[in-house]
Amino acid sequence: MKKRISNLPFTGTPEQEAKLKAVIAENKGQKSMLLSVMQEAQGIYGYLPLEVQTMVAEGMDVPVEEVYGIATFYAQFALTPKGKYKISVCLGTACYVKGSQSLLDKITEIIGIGPDECTADGKYSLEACRCIGACGLAPVLTVNEDVYGRLTNKDVAGILKKYID
């Protein structure tokens, strides 16, 4: 799956930038530590927007394309922020065959964002993932750590209602 760039403006704080600069300073001149610095950067910001990738690239003296390449290659990195409620719909084979794409479409319709996006208020983020290991419950979606299985489109609105503050 291709990763999408964030649909929201970057909102990093001076405190976050100072933390990242300290991490970079500890690893300056050690290109072998790039992956580790990127992991730390994601820990600080929650994701790796282009602005953060640029700071890492400049600080580690590598092309930003290299940072971007790593960020898009490894599933552990996110290019978009995560919402308070992280909704994930499994599109693995068992779930897909049992209708998970229509669940994803229904969620998109209800909350107004597509996969790899976050609502402007930061409340919801949506992702399509591969197998989460609950094939016997197909189709499956998760909201944070809560797992919902054997779903139909009719179940989606009721599930999302539980996460309205």
Strands 141-143 and 85-90: antiparallel
Quote the pTM value. 0.77
Q: Report the 10 Å Cβ neighbour count for 130.
A: 12
Tens of pLDDT along 103-150?
999 999 999 999 999 998 999 999 999 999 999 999 999 999 999 999
Is residue 145 within 8 Å of residue 155, measured between CB atoms? no
Report the CATH superfamily, name and number, of domain 85-161: Glutaredoxin (3.40.30.10)
What is the per-residue pLDDT across 54-107, written as a single tens digit (0 to 9) for each? 999 999 999 999 999 999 999 889 998 999 999 999 999 999 999 999 999 999
